[in-house]
Structure 1
Amino acid sequence: MNEPANALTSPPGGPDSPGGDRSVVVSEKDAGRVAFASFVGTALEWYDYFLFGTAAAIVFNRLYFTSLNPTAATLAAFATFGVGFAARPVGAVVFGWLGDRIGRRPALLITVVMIGAATGLIGLLPGYAAIGLAAPLLLVLLRLLQGIAVGGEWGGAVTLAVEHAPPEKRGRYAALPQVGSPIGTLLSSGAFSLVLLLPDDSFDAWGWRLPFLAAFPMLLVAVYIRRKVEESPLFEELLKQDDRAKVPALDVFRTAWRRLLVAITSALLGVGGFYILTTFVISYGADTLGMSRSLMVNATLVAAVVEIVVILVMGRVAERLGPGRVTVWGGVGSALIAFPVFWLIDTENPVLVVLAVASGIALLSVAYAVSGALLTELFPANLRYSGVALAYNLAGALTGFLPFAATALLDVSGGTSWPVALLLAGLSLLTAFGGLLGERMRVRDNVTTT
């Protein structure tokens, strides 16, 4: 596992290439501003993306797949949800090329516009009753656009934040884009909680569309903030040295494939586990156990608040102990709690249900908090955007259909939750293994701080 690093990076023991002692100057003042801009963009991206997951659980199965029986309609809605994950590696390749060849900043401007526009258009999309088969087909198309945009967003956001940050403080700055995920959950779940207060007829007719339409004004804010962000100093140095890969994704697969595999494994829980405990659990609690949709959505709101605290704390811990070790803790902890989480949900006690969802997401967030720090240090600067984006989004493609798989397992097992708990435990242990290997493979950028 000793792929060559580029001239701006070196392994923990020291430079491993000629010129490896050259350094790039970063400003701690700029680091906070860039990390905040990355956070704002990722918050919007995840708001848009999570809206679809919640709507897939409680809206799309009834309004866009009405010709199917209830179980088949839910499966179809979750399959549409999973399509977005399948599209994300495409976005990783396209925007990884743009980010590693043209610049991190222009790539991130395009991604935020794409996903905001696609989400707003979903709010304008007529249902099956109005336009028939065209409704689910257009829904799938818009979900594909969401997936392609998200495929380039997260990798670029954490890359830009990390490359502006002092090496000894990368854990905290890499954690800020991660906070975009629970903020996106709070915004999306909060928006749905409000519109669920409407009468059922009003909710189905127009109420569910309001959270999607809100993406348009939020997009304007995100673009305004992103336009003020400066390009990565490491990328500018790559331009001066003309040390850019012609086809970065191809070079990742050819020269850094071991790193890619480790990065994918370490990211599985933060992506797939989250959707098991949100998208699937909302559907499971409401449709299988008969609990209120509002209770299940509100449980994710509480969990999102807990997640913010965990992410910020673990970002600091990673600076002392290393992001790989923290990933191991998160994976093992999530595996241990997988069955108790579903046992508590199965009690149908509202307090225990909220506790279960919050506890499960808190533990998987330990690994998620440090994904940005770990993945960016697994790839050299000239392949970083592509490597991080590919790893994270291939993990998403592998786990994006887990709500679908969990629903199918639930149907096969006669409505019992233990197969889903086993699925979550297995995913957690894989992530722990990825963190163990990843800690040993980290590379360092040669930067100095002003």
Structure 2
Amino acid sequence: MTQHSPSAPGAPPQGGKPVVTDKDAGRIAFAAFVGTALEWYDYFLFGTAAAIVFNRLYFTTLNPTAATLAAFATFGVGFVARPVGAVIFGWVGDRIGRRPALLITVVMIGVATGLIGVLPDYAAIGIAAPILLALLRLLQGIAVGGEWGGAVTLAVEHAPPERRGRYAVLPQIGSPVGTLLSSGAFSLVLMMPADTFDSWGWRLPFLAAFPLLVVAVYIRRKVEESPLFDELLQQDDRAKVPAVDVFRQAWGRLIVAIASAFLGVGGFYIMTTFAISYGSDTLGVERSVMVNATLVAAVAQIVVLIVVGRISDRLGPGRVTLWGGVATAICALPIFMLIDTRSPLLIILAVSAGVCVLSVAYAVSGALLTELFPAHLRYSGVALAYNIAGALSGFLPFVATALLDRTGGSSVAPVALLIGVSLITAVGGFYGERLRVKDNVVSA
């Protein structure tokens, strides 16, 4: 990374380097976590609703199978939109500031989610209903595409270099927390009578996004801009079109970053989205058992993320990613062997173990990806890498299902796929540790 002259705001007179403190780092990381948890709560709500209610209320002219496919296709729009959001908010974050980009993303997804809660169904406004639903999902995806990269960038750039792992992991915790909140919200409204749920009950979790948004904006407005971005601004060292420069100047780093993030996103989809389908449809296990397994796994994942984040400060995020990938590859076969037993207890144990072991690499994604890119390309580079990995990962459950059909329902297919994804991330961690950028900051 380019070393700047001693003129950053807040720098000590004799050193001239931006100063970062543990006190500020903890506060900023918590603000990043709150926003990220809201983002994932809103994002996961749509997936749940697509499975149980959107097919019946917004695609009523189709047969049940086609309606469900249409609902999930609308869900998939969000994945397509995420790289677009990475480009847009990468430009904002690298040109205008990390803070304004994160304020815009949290408002966008909060408003889009709340509006879904008041959107009339097909019976009320006809074809406009599914079209508006898809547009709101598109806005969600664009916002999520800019959220995570900015959250981890801001958390890392405010943190002392020797303690970045423990602070960068807080935005990561937003994912399991968002999963638990969205699942809990729908579990409550599903206790209503069926007619009440279909009429207005399902809307309540979406409408809850409005008060949650107020809290998130209040917290994020108190966040200061990154000291490294302030230095870039003063030195006028900003890229004109950051996303283009990432592909031109840092394409190798981008590939390593995508590989490093692949397991944390793709492996999670295999152990949750695919595992639920595999257990219920192929093995004949009750769907509630599979869903409960993912909820238990989300709780365990929070603990793993916190512990591994601290360990990474001693070992380095690249090494942790490498060994997390290797460990997941080794555990893939035993995990699916336990799922194949059809025992509810062993299934919960297997899914929890699978999510926990892949979370070793996921825990340090924020720290590693931010240190793979120089500050003037960081927001764009991190957002692009993570969301390209996410877009590719979105296809993994479909690939696993197709391979499952070709192999007669054998778990060999998902095992091989999980091993492949794990080894790709292990290679990413190996090279990522060697490509880490050292920022020009000092700890107070």
* TM-score above 0.5: yes
Deviation at 1:449, TM superposition (A): 1.2
Contact 1:344 1:356 in 2 (8 A): yes
Q: 2:173, 2:298 → 1: CA distance?
A: 9
Q: C-alpha deviations, 1:285-308, integer Å up to 9, x for none?
A: 445555444433322221111111
Secondary structure at the counterpart of residue 350 of structure 2:
helix
Q: 1:128, 1:409 → 2: CA distance?
A: 36
- Sort the Cα spacing of 1:416 and 1:58 in 2 relative to 1 into closer, same or farther, 3 A: farther
Paired residues for 1:144-293 under 5 Å: 144-293=138-287
Q: C-alpha deviations, 1:249-270, integer Å up to 9, x for none?
A: 1111111110001001110111
- Sort the Cα spacing of 1:8 and 1:285 in 2 relative to 1 into closer, same or farther, 3 A: farther
Q: C-alpha deviations, 1:295-327, integer Å up to 9, x for none?
A: 333222211111111111111111111101111
Match in the other structure for 2:305: 311
1:335 aligns with 2:329: yes
Paired residues for 1:28-427 under 5 Å: 28-65=22-59, 73-128=67-122, 130-411=124-405, 413=407, 415-427=409-421
Normalized against structure 2, the TM-score is what? 0.91
- Unmatched 5+ stretches in structure 1: 10-20
State the percentage of identical aligned residues: 78
- Sort the Cα spacing of 1:426 and 1:186 in 2 relative to 1 into closer, same or farther, 3 A: same
- Sort the Cα spacing of 1:208 and 1:421 in 2 relative to 1 into closer, same or farther, 3 A: farther
Q: 1:191, 1:415 → 2: CA distance?
A: 34
Q: C-alpha deviations, 1:103-161, integer Å up to 9, x for none?
A: 11000000000011111222233444555544333322222111100111101010101
Contact 1:78 1:403 in 2 (8 A): no
Normalized against structure 1, the TM-score is what? 0.90
How many residue pairs align between the two structures?
435
Q: 1:62, 1:364 → 2: CA distance?
A: 35
Secondary structure at the counterpart of residue 239 of structure 2:
coil
Q: 1:275, 1:63 → 2: CA distance?
A: 27
| Structure 1 moving runs of 4+ over 6 Å | none
- Indicate the larger mover: 358-367 or 268-277: 268-277
Contact 1:334 1:428 in 2 (8 A): yes
- Unmatched 5+ stretches in structure 2: 6-14
Contact 2:325 2:358 in 1 (8 A): yes
Q: 1:337, 1:75 → 2: CA distance?
A: 33
Secondary structure at the counterpart of residue 244 of structure 1:
coil
Contact 2:4 2:235 in 1 (8 A): no
Q: 1:250, 1:102 → 2: CA distance?
A: 17
Q: 2:223, 2:281 → 1: CA distance?
A: 44
Q: How large is the Cα RMSD of the aligned pairs? A: 2.3
Q: 2:427 corresponds to which letter in structure 1?
A: F
- Sort the Cα spacing of 1:140 and 1:346 in 2 relative to 1 into closer, same or farther, 3 A: farther
Q: 1:208, 1:22 → 2: CA distance?
A: 55
Match in the other structure for 1:17: none
- Sort the Cα spacing of 1:319 and 1:236 in 2 relative to 1 into closer, same or farther, 3 A: same
Q: 1:70, 1:363 → 2: CA distance?
A: 37
Q: 2:413, 2:61 → 1: CA distance?
A: 29
- Sort the Cα spacing of 1:409 and 1:202 in 2 relative to 1 into closer, same or farther, 3 A: farther
